[in-house]
Amino acid sequence: MVPSRSHFIKEMKDLNNKVERMGKEIEIIYGNLVLALRSNKKEIASNIVEEDKIINDIEVSINVDAYLLIAKQCPVASDLRRIITALKIANDLERIADYAVNISKYIIKSNVENKDFRDVLVSLAEKVINMFSNIMTAYRNEDIKLALEVCELDSQIDDFYKEKVKELIKIGKSNTDETAEAAIRALLVLKQLERAGDHITNIAENIVYLVNGKRLELN
């Protein structure tokens, strides 16, 4: 017997709730990442690495639920689009969390003692948090307008990234080996944050697809 429509709606709501929970956990992780970058405290960074296990578990649960929904419900095109979107967004969320983990591992292994470098990293991390918060609101409300506005924020992040890369390379070339090494490490962190912004833009693309079925290349 084919499950009822009301049963499908409930299971789809549960799936969306898991995606939103995943987003909330990542917001916490990035908030802690800012604290770790600002204070250079390895304990905070270590906690972020541990918290990533929660993200991975939620993603696995989303994947299982999504495939079971497809198998049991034989969803029509619009419903299938919702399930596929949840899967794709969960994948992007997991990647965004991974970037925070990579940065945390860098903090654990190295010291970011140069305050100017730390300030640059914190500034970009805060921009990513703002962008991420907005995209999760756009997902929750199925708000295409907000999703597209988030893409404009990604352009600002890209511009900031390019500007700071030039500055850090210049600093690295004209200072001591120790400062040059610190500049290179800061560049690696900046790249992780810039990639997080790209995955947030991927989520924006999937929100557009969810709402109207259109595929847009916003990156």
In a domain, 167, yes or no: yes
Whether 48 contacts 105, CB under 8 Å = no
Average pLDDT over residues 27-40: 94
Tens of pLDDT, residues 153-171: 888 899 999 998 888 888 7
In a domain, 44, yes or no: yes
Angle made by CA atoms 184, 190, 193, in degrees to the nearest 5: 150
Residue type, 164: K
Tens of pLDDT, residues 54-94: 999 999 999 999 999 988 877 788 899 999 999 999 999 99
Whether 172 contacts 190, CB under 8 Å = no
Domain that holds residue 59: 5-212
Percent of the chain with pLDDT over 90: 66
Q: State the total domains in the chain.
A: 1
Angle made by CA atoms 47, 130, 163, in degrees to the nearest 5: 95
Residue type, 109: K
CATH at residue 40: 1.20.58.220
Q: Lowest-pLDDT range, 93-97, 110-114, 201-205, 214-218? A: 110-114
In a domain, 218, yes or no: no
In a domain, 205, yes or no: yes
Tens of pLDDT, residues 5-21: 788 889 999 999 999 99
In a domain, 86, yes or no: yes
In a domain, 56, yes or no: yes
Cα separation values, 194 from 62, 81, 180, Å: 26, 28, 21
Whether 132 contacts 26, CB under 8 Å = yes
| Residue that the structure tokens 């939103």 belong to | 20
In a domain, 9, yes or no: yes
Q: What is the pTM (predicted TM-score) of this model?
A: 0.92
The predicted structure's pLDDT at residue 192: 96
What's the half-sphere exposure (Cβ side, CA atoms, 13 Å) at 96?
33
Return mean pLDDT, the chain: 90
Task: Read off the pLDDT band of 146 (50, 70, 90).
Answer: very high
The predicted structure's pLDDT at residue 1: 47
Does 202 have pLDDT greater than 50? yes
Instruction: Tell me the CA end-to-end span of the chain in Å, nearest whole number.
Output: 43
Residue type, 85: T
In a domain, 24, yes or no: yes
What's the half-sphere exposure (Cβ side, CA atoms, 13 Å) at 192?
24
Residue 36 in tokens: 């770790």
> Who has greater pLDDT, 27 or 2?
27
